[in-house]
Structure 1
Amino acid sequence: MFGIRRLTTLGASLALGLALAACGGHPVGAGRPHGVPSPTSSPSNDAAPGELAIARSDTREDSVYPDVGDPLVDALHYDLDLAWDPTRDLLTGVETLTFRATADAASIPLDFSDALSVSTLSVDGADAHFTQQGHGLAIAHPVVRDRDYELVLHYAGTPRPAPAPSRRSDFSAGVGWNISPDHETSTLQEPYGAFTWYAVNDQPADKALYDFTLRSPPGWSGVANGKLVEESSARGHDVDRWHLAEPASSYLVTVAFGRYRHTELSSRSGVPIQVWAPADGPALPGQTSYAPKAIDWLENILGPYPFDTFGVVVVHNDSGMETQTMVTLGDNPYSLSQAVLVHEAAHHWYGDTVTPSDWSDVWMNEGMAMYLQGMWEAEQEGVTINRKMDEWAGFEGRLRAAAGPPGAYDPTQFGDGNIYYGPALMWQELRERIGDRRFFTVLREWPAAQENGNADRRTYVDWIEKTTGVELSGFFDAWLLDRRTPPR
């Protein structure tokens, strides 16, 4: 489930273990240059081919949630100019989407909630007819395979969260755009929900670059992924501009509007770290001051953090989410704990720089982030990793029985504990089978080999077999697809 940013309540006997399952994260490598558009200009059909090549994706129809996203669209760059009016709960947006058509077609399908009204829409500068229904936006404009297009739309309205395909209590408010009682905002959109606030190809296989211009009342801030490149004031708004230099799947995008104070930190290796906390509370709420040490610990195991910056934005909800380069954490002691910071930061290697192509493989994110969290917990508690895994094995079978195998889970129970704990036990079994040297080589080399990409189970298993020289297809099938936990 999303990195896991939220927790499942499965009863008192499992409460502690399940609580730890709700975090996610990943390390980032020292900043390095990428050929991407300037944050002050939007890409167009005249852009040099190399500028957007990093965002080219092999899209697909999702096997778990096929009604969201469409493989026809390969989004390359989203430029989102968003204004939030908390007095009316009104979002006003101007979106410029540059995308590649993956096939010839008579129309362009996108995901976009009909709670927001589109006033104008154009494709390559020409007005286009469109229809909205539910979360579907159909644009009557023909496209040709492998050609790039620029779509511009103006819209406004009060975003409405979408029902979550989950039974977790921290999903009860729905997925997508959420508005707090104080009219501040946050987003939580795994496995989908970005469509509640912008027009998007809302599938994990489609990564794109992002630029954000966020306008809010004086004294408020708009926080998003990437690097804050400009702060200014214009026409009665405070304006924050953000640039995300490496492509992200839509579920890993975040925008928050609120009254914030901003603190800058740094990891031992020099990764810039920012914490955006509610202005009426401490500058570093909970255990957010641990963020540099979390990056340090993960880099020691996984190698350089894979992005230019890392950050935390604290919002009014009950969950945590590994939103790329700007982790979103709820304002409660659990979400703001050291364990959740480690988990969500670990997702930057497992989930963010390497993202599953299909939601059936969310175990790739959550299982490894959970295993790394388990390693960290064992160190903190002064126990062996075997003892920690034995503790988790005591209840993993019940999670698997309740929500299905990690690689073939019940689609109505997204983000349950089965995708966290079973795969974590699997990684420990693999470690014992192939030895520490080969195991930690796999952990470090996979994110580097697949940087800024997507992968599925077959690609991942084939790569592990090639790297280790061990045939493992039966091993992975048993752990990921069997309804009963394999013997340990």
Structure 2
Amino acid sequence: MPRPARLVPAVASALALALTLTACGGGSARDKIGASGVSDPYFPKAGNGGYDVTHYALTLAYDSTSRRLTGTAEIEARAKQDLTSFNLDFKGMKVTVAEVDDAPARFHHSGHHELTIRPPDALDRNATFRTTVHYSGRPETITDPDGSREGWLRTADGALALGEPVGSMAWFPGNHHPSDKATYDITITVPEGLKAVSNGELRREETKRGRTIFAWRTAEPMATYLATVAIGEYDVRRSKTANGLPVYVAVDPDQSKASAKVLARIPEIMRWAEENFGPYPFSSTGAIVDRANDAGYALETQTRPVFPGAPDTALLVHELAHQWYGNSVTPASWRDMWLNEGFATYAEWLWQEDHGGDTAQATFDALYDHGENTYENLWAFPPASPTSAAHISGDPVYQRGAMLLHKIREATGDATFHDILRGWPTTHRHGNASTSDFTAYVEQQASDEDFSAIWDDWLYGSGKPDHA
């Protein structure tokens, strides 16, 4: 006779969750459950359905000796459907209490990805509500599909939180997909002598009884992957740009001397960027410079990009350009990553062109003629269609993305292209946009041009395109 079927772990987990919710009084046909993912083409379980977050208030305390993080997340949201339960992305740490609108809520947390919360009373569509989650533990470091490390990175003197693409779920529960942006208050308590640096503006710094509290506020919408916390010993430099924009720079003392000259160019780069990309979309700027081995890459964390060691000018230009392309106008899904990286890479080309280096045309020609010598996978896939999650930060996304923008410039001429550079982040300021949104925008701005060959060959086409 047939052997009894054995429950695979995923089925067993789903059954356990169903039994948990049934025991909580749920499981009926009337249940309205928010989806546990938004079906992103590369990270289908990232994000959650059924609600839209408007604000995160994170209160964190980090013990650098035990490396434990204690947190309270207050998440303000609006229900997009009737909800009897909903999910938050959260990995690793232990959840002790969950509340909805100050009332205790039942919850289930596997520890692997999903935190499912069942409010005591069903939420009506369009209702606003506040979820509070208390948690603690040692946050995890997550290995991305491409092998890079994100999440909560331990450093010699503290920690560094980096979130692209899904690492932020290692240190706070939330709706961790770029399509759901929110404002933030992040308050971090650390041992006296350490600093805690985050996004936005520092609202309060207070030391008492051997601990220092740093309270940061981000008043403009931000995707969760752009949130950061850097804890450690930092030299802090405050200044302003010519038009009064606050500049807050935090540098590991080990990198202070090496980075001083390039970081002093932030006001100059910001002035140039505003001329090319339009008004700066945020209320402060700056940088965080850690040691080279603390993270293996730079990241455009909002208002305050993170660098692994002292950056050169090109990398600083790249990450500051992201504040327009990626941070203010944010991709609708991870398939649209080239809208971040293609623009930021092309910003490097433009800076070089405007400051006595190669023209963008010369850079394009060199890439076309022998770029595969430097970027082995340059022609492996089109920028708008990475072959897998491991390739969303691949060479074609950056380099071919920039080459596509240059083809648009060739077709439209400099004046119209300049209007596109400025108009695109202005049109979608603090919002989300997809590749199809971009192609429609370009066609609208240059309605007398036929871009079909450019889209077919440079945006979606496989292999090395023909180039006259």
Q: TM-score range by the shorter chain?
A: 0.7 to 0.9
Q: Report 1:111-130 matches (<5 A).
A: 111-113=89-91, 115-130=92-107
Q: CA deviation at 1:69?
A: 0.9
2:267 aligned with 1:267, yes or no? no
Partner of 2:340: 365
1:450 paired with 2:439, answer no
> In structure 1, what is the equivalent of residue 371 of structure 2?
395
Query: Given that residues 77 and 209 in structure 1 are in contact (C-alpha distance below 8 angstroms), is that contact kept between their aligned partners in structure 2?
Result: yes
Q: Which amino acid aligns with 1:418?
A: P
Q: Given that residues 461 and 473 in structure 1 are in contact (C-alpha distance below 8 angstroms), is that contact kept between their aligned partners in structure 2?
A: no
* Aligned-partner Cα distance in 2 for 1:442–1:264: 33
Kept after mapping to 2: 8 A contact 1:275/1:284: no
Residues in 1 aligned to 2:42 and 2:255: alpha-carbon distance in whole angstroms: 41
The SS at the match of 1:175 is: strand
Residue deviations 1:402-445 (CA, integer Å, cap 9, x gap): 4x221110222231111000011111111111111111001111
C-alpha spacing 1:227/1:140, structure 2 compared with 1 (3 Å): same
- Determine which structure has more spread, i.e. the larger CA radius of gyration: 2
Whole-angstrom distance in 1 between the partners of 2:157 and 2:167: 19
Match of 1:109 in 2: 87
What is the CA-CA distance between 1:68 and the residue it aligns to? Answer: 1.2
Answer yes or no: is the 8 Å Cα contact 2:38–2:45 preserved in 1.
no
- Give deviations 1:163-187, integer Å, cap 9, x for gaps: 20214xxx1xx2211111x241112
Q: Secondary structure at the match of 2:176?
A: coil
Of 139, 146, 159, 2:139 maps to: 159
Unpaired runs of at least 5, structure 1:
1-58
Corresponding residue for residue 95 of structure 1: 73
Q: 2:46 aligns with which of 68, 75, 93?
A: 68
Specify the code of the residue in structure 2 equivalent to 1:441: D
Q: Distance in 2 between matches of 1:235 and 1:129?
A: 36
Tell me the CA shift for residue 60 of structure 1: 4.8
SS in 2 for 1:130: strand
Tell me, yes or no, if the aligned pair for 1:85 and 1:216 is still in contact at 8 Å.
yes
The residue type paired with residue 464 of structure 2 is: T
Cα offset, 1:245, TM superposition: 1.0
Paired with 2:116 and 2:38, the residues of 1 have a C-alpha distance of: 18
Give 3-state SS (helix, strand or coil) of 1:185's partner.
strand
Q: Which residue of 1 aligns with 2:195?
A: 221
1:371–1:83: structure 2 CA closer, same or farther, 3 Å change rule? same
Number of positions where the alignment pairs a residue of Structure 1 with one of Structure 2:
419
Who is 2:206 aligned against?
232
Aligned match for 1:250, one of 219, 224, 228? 224
Deviations 1:71-93 (A, max 9, x none): 32311100001111001001011
Cα contact 2:371–2:378 (8 A) shared by 1: no
> Is the counterpart of residue 475 in structure 1 residue 450 in structure 2?
no
- 2:328 aligned partner, one-letter code: T
State the one-letter code of the partner of 1:395. G
Q: Which residue of 2 aligns with 1:374?
A: 349
Segment drifting more, 340-349 vs 386-395: 386-395
Query: Which of 451, 454, 463 is matched with 1:484 structurally?
Result: 463
SS of residue in 1 equivalent to 2:177:
coil
- Tell me how far apart the structure 2 counterparts of residues 250 and 436 of structure 1 sit (CA, whole Å): 35
Q: What's the CA shift string for 1:175-221, capped at 9, x where partnerless?
A: 211111x2411122211111000001110100000001110001111
Distance in 1 between residues matched to 2:338 and 2:83, nearest whole Å: 34
Partner of 1:412: 390
Report the alpha carbon displacement of residue 237 of structure 1 after superposing the two structures with TM: 1.2
Distance of 1:249 and 1:471 partners within structure 2: 34
Distance in 2 between the 1:72 and 1:136 partners? 14
**CA shift for structure 1 position 234:** 3.7
1:473 positional shift: 4.2
Structure number with higher relative contact order (C-alpha < 8 Å, ≥ 6 residues apart):
1
Q: Does structure 2 conserve the Cα–Cα contact (< 8 Å) formed by 1:208 and 1:247? A: yes
Matches within 5 A, 1:144-155: 144-155=124-135
Q: Distance in 1 between matches of 2:250 and 2:224?
A: 21
Deviation at 1:235, TM superposition (A): 4.3
In structure 2, do the counterparts of structure 1 residues 280 and 370 end up closer, same or farther at CA, with 3 Å as the change threshold?
A: closer
CA contact (8 A) 1:378 1:388 kept: no
Distance 2:257 2:98 in 1: 42
Whether the 8 Å CA contact 1:160–1:177 is kept in 2: the answer is: yes
Q: Is the 1:277–1:283 contact (alpha carbons within 8 Å) kept by the matching residues of 2? A: no
Q: Is residue 90–residue 158 contact of structure 1 (8 Å, CA) maintained in 2? A: yes
- Indicate whether 1:431 and 2:428 are aligned: no
Pair 1:302-2:277 in alignment:
yes
- Residues 354-412 of structure 1: CA distance to partner in whole angstroms, max 9, x if unpaired? 0011110111110011011112224445332211111222225842444x221110222
Residue among 249, 257, 282 paired with 2:256: 282
Q: Which residues of structure 2 form unaligned runs of 5+?
A: 1-36
Q: 1:366, 1:151 → 2: CA distance? A: 34
- CA apart distance, 1:65: 1.0
- TM superposition shift of 1:261: 1.8
Contact 2:379 2:464 survives alignment (8 Å): no
